[in-house]
Amino acid sequence: MIPVRLPDPVSPSAPMPHRKVIRSWLLPVAQRSTGRALALVLLDLILFSLAIAATVWLHNAVAKLLLGMAAGFIIGRLFILGHDACHQSFTPHRRLNRWLGRLVFLPSLTPYSLWDAGHNVVHHGYTNLKGFDFVWHPLSLEEFRALPRWRQWLERIYRSGWGPWLYYLVEMWWQRMYFPSRKKMPTRRSVFVWDGVLVTVAALSWIAALAAAALATGQSVWLILLAGFVTPFLFWNAMIGFVVYVHHTHTGVAWYEQKTVWAAAQPFVSTTVHLTFRYRIGALLHHIMEHTAHHVDMSIPLYRLQKAQQILETMLPSRIVIQKFSWRWYFDTARRCKLYDFQRRCWTDFSGIPTSAPAQVI
């Protein structure tokens, strides 16, 4: 890797540098490696296969379910690899990235082209801009009160701290990824349909293989399917729902309804959270939590994000939201970040009472 030579850090009182300037600091750590990418894919596919096989091989029901949860975590790791491939930042080869992305997205049943449209174009193009970015977008008090009662309760569940799995399963995967309606995805492309067919075939093949293994070993088909398919899939939904929630939900992170104000706020820096963990959990998550660097420059591969994040935090002191993870912080955030007041630029509870300081007006 080329040694990184940086200018002096930018003063917190100075104007934010242009994005092109910030990205220039990261160029030395943006190199992609085909060998490293393929090694990561092979490792996680092997781990996933072993975890699923163990849900059949082990006979203790609790052990089966625990291995199913482990398989769900590995699905998350595979998805993060596919996320990089979808950004064309995984290897230097575009076609290889597309095929690898589709391959490693299969265990999460994620249609590659629909994720590309929703994530690369919408989420990264308009991060935290109301009416565009739909990922964990907060409602205003007026919008919340206009909802039918059942939908208000669903929103309460989603933002309780216990509902990320349900939010992602319903709002993201079912409504926007798996054969979405014309209302959710007005653009209709044949590749969307074929990618949906691909993940459907993968799911049916996965279920059939588990059922056949259960019959061959004289075990309960339903228990094997619960441990080897349902549990991993639900755990994965909880994992990705949690990850996308904590990436952009924080009392120090603002949402915007006016595009000009949003653009002036340098949203690629100010709307993301760098969540830090003990015990190298961030490394187990393929460094996806070094999220500011990823939003500044999507071309940086996941195996370079840690260094890129360090550069940003050195060069932009006091500009980046850095949060040490704890369950106490997480549930306090869930308690405080229910709705958003777009006029006062602050988070509120479901009664509209402010729970955070107003965001600074740029």
Model confidence pLDDT, tens digit, residues 249-307 = 999 999 999 888 888 877 888 889 999 998 889 999 999 999 999 999 999 999 999 99
pLDDT of residue 3: 56
* Residue 50 domain-assigned (yes or no): yes
Q: What average pLDDT score do residues 228-239 get?
A: 98
Q: 271 lies in which domain range? A: 34-348
- Model confidence at 15, in pLDDT bands (50, 70, 90)? confident
* Residue 214 domain-assigned (yes or no): yes
Write down the mean pLDDT value for the chain.
93
* Helix-helix angle 94-105:190-216, to 10 degrees: 40
Phi first, then psi: give them for residue 322, nearest 5 degrees: -115, 125
Rounded Cα distance between 362 and 271, Å, is: 13
Q: What average pLDDT score do residues 192-220 get?
A: 97
Q: What average pLDDT score do residues 208-235 get?
A: 97
* Residue 17 domain-assigned (yes or no): no
- Model confidence at 4, in pLDDT bands (50, 70, 90)? low
pTM of the predicted model over 0.95: no
pLDDT of residue 163: 96
* Residue 16 domain-assigned (yes or no): no
* Residue 14 domain-assigned (yes or no): no
- Model confidence at 57, in pLDDT bands (50, 70, 90)? very high
* Residue 360 domain-assigned (yes or no): no
* Residue 362 domain-assigned (yes or no): no
- Output 314-318 pairs: Cβ under 8 A, ≥24 positions apart: 314/6, 314/9, 315/6, 315/7, 315/9, 315/10, 315/22, 315/25, 316/9, 316/10, 316/16, 316/22, 316/269, 317/9, 317/10, 317/12, 318/12
Rounded Cα distance between 136 and 242, Å, is: 10
pLDDT of residue 2: 52
Model confidence pLDDT, tens digit, residues 116-130 = 988 888 888 899 999
Number of domains in the chain: 1
* Residue 358 domain-assigned (yes or no): no
Model confidence pLDDT, tens digit, residues 135-165 = 899 999 999 999 999 999 999 999 999 999 9
pLDDT of residue 361: 53
E strand map for the chain: 273-276, 321-324, 339-341, 346-348
Model confidence pLDDT, tens digit, residues 60-97 = 999 999 999 999 999 999 999 999 999 999 999 999 99
- Model confidence at 362, in pLDDT bands (50, 70, 90)? very low
